[in-house]
Amino acid sequence: MNKRILSIDVLRGLTIFLMVLSASLVWNANLPAYMFHCQVGPPSFAFNPDIKGITWVDLVFPWFIFTMGASMPFSLGRKLEKGVPVWKVSLGVVKRWLTLAAFGLVLGNADLIGGNVALPQIAVRIGIWLALFVALVRVKDGARIKGWAVNLAGLVMLAVMLLVEKFAFDVQFSFGQNNVIIMILSALALLGGFIWLLTRRSMIARFIILLAVCAVKEVDWQWHCLGMLELPGAISWLFNWGYAQYLVITIVGMSVGDLLKKANSDNATLCANAGNWKTVTGAILCALLTPAMLWALYTRHIWAALDITALSAMCFVLLLTREDRTVWTQIARMGFALLALGIVFDPIDGGITKDYCNLSYMLTTSGLACLMTAFLLWGETLSGQRGRQMCKGLAMTGQNPMIAYTISGFIILPLINLIMSIIPGGSEWLINLTAGRPLAGLLYGIFLTCLMMLATNFFTAKKLFWRS
């Protein structure tokens, strides 16, 4: 038995929803600071690493990395169970790294044309996305047209669109211009994939690697330890050792994935007695810790954060440890431990920050991701099929992350701007709608994000996924 775990898909879908929402918000100084990255807040929106704390926006990326790690035991383990040799699985890991890196390179260069208003720029942006779609779409086995032929046609289309971009808009293709988020994911796909393969039978070995990553991070990962291992000039864009620091979150995620996969394979109950008042109380504690920690760490009430975490963990253990030893309580206990460690490291690291990322940030966000996963597992068990239907939209978004990540900026927003430009006074009306109106800007961001979900769900329902 190797069915999908709904909770991981829902968590990934939730992170994508929040990621697109945060990117869609109009940067209005009248919106509260906690609606933006903590270190890039209003009124100036200038990067300031001296600002300590995190907001909900700062949870988005680490939670996505967490789900990426949690998926590795399923995706890689499934291949091993089918009898695929380890060396072939390893080649697949390398292929995924190169695919994501190339994807990040294309996205970075596509963004150089910038314009989502003028018709020529809109046409090129949409053309690049359609070319990416054909190049990356998975074609079912046994289809009349071979998958490799479809993907090759997409690559040819993509090359044509990039040439149009170059000659029509004088954009110079640059290997130094890439999408940093996708490049981080590509590095983690490579390193995380090999770490899972090496440690799939030894949690001790994985724990040692995790400790090593944490230790090296604390002594300045990139410059003092691994700078000498950078790839040479022409291919340096493919990999940056500085991104490897996020392995802390990825390794935690893959460990959670291993627990879920084992429970799945054994057909074990994810959560026992989900309707029992003790279980309900424990699940609520897991869910409430995220808003509680966001408040405490944003307002710099560190002692309050530690007290709330310790009290919640004690209550959870007293209520459930003896009665419920299912996978959700294991993941929750892991979450409490990581969260407590993250809070302890807050003063050691000079205050939690996403940028520049420190160990407190990675441990704290990993812990909160574990606790949210535990909450979702409880909800998945309690609500059954009804819950699956209620969370279907988020789950389907989470199953198609690369389409979800790109479709708003390359299809939805350009088309909206095109329609507004056709309507007399439409562009001015759209600008004036959100100017100085924080609520209108927020609602507009939610509107764009919902359109993203609808579009992504359409492709997921049609079983059109991108290879990534």
Domain that holds residue 259: 6-112+174-399
In a domain, 10, yes or no: yes
Q: How many domains are there within the chain?
A: 1
| Burial class of residue 423 (count of CB atoms within 10 Å of its CB; 0-12, 13-18, 19+) | exposed
H, E, C per residue of the chain: CCCCCHHHHHHHHHHHHHHHHHHHCCCCCCCCHHHCCCCCCCCCCCCCCCCCCCCCHHHHHHHHHHHHHHHHHHHHHHHHHCCCCHHHHHHHHHHHHHHHHHHHHHHHHHCCCCCCCCHHHHHHHHHHHHHHHHHHECCCCCCCCCHHHHHHHHHHHHHHHHHHHHHHHCCCCCCCCCCHHHHHHHHHHHHHHHHHHHHCCCHHHHHHHHHHHHHHHHCCHHHHHHHHHCCCHHHHHHCCHHHHHHHHHHHHHHHHHHHHHHHHHCCCCCCCCCCCHHHHHHHHHHHHHHHHHHHHHHCCCHHHHHHHHHHHHHHHHHHHCCCCCCHHHHHHHHHHHHHHHHHHHHHHCCCCCCCCCCHHHHHHHHHHHHHHHHHHHHHHHHHHHHHHHHCHHHHHHHCCHHHHHHHHHHHHHHHHHHHHHHCCCHHHHHHHHHCCCHHHHHHHHHHHHHHHHHHHHHHHHCCCCECC
In a domain, 303, yes or no: yes
In a domain, 45, yes or no: yes
In the prediction, which pLDDT does 149 show? Answer: 87
- The answer to whether the pTM exceeds 0.95 is no
In a domain, 127, yes or no: no
d(CA 255, CA 240): 24
pLDDT tens digits in sequence order for the chain, 468 residues long: 457 788 999 999 999 999 999 888 877 777 888 888 999 888 888 888 899 999 999 999 999 999 999 999 999 999 999 999 999 999 999 999 999 999 999 988 887 655 556 778 888 889 999 999 999 998 876 666 677 888 899 999 999 988 888 787 777 778 888 889 999 999 999 999 999 999 999 999 999 999 988 888 877 655 455 555 677 777 778 888 888 899 999 999 999 999 999 988 877 888 888 888 999 999 999 999 999 999 999 999 999 999 999 999 999 999 887 767 889 999 999 999 999 999 999 999 999 999 888 999 999 999 999 999 999 999 888 877 666 677 888 999 999 999 999 999 899 988 888 888 888 877 778 777 777 677 888 888 899 999 999 999 999 999 999 877
In a domain, 408, yes or no: no
In a domain, 324, yes or no: yes
In the prediction, which pLDDT does 258 show? Answer: 95
In a domain, 297, yes or no: yes
In a domain, 459, yes or no: no
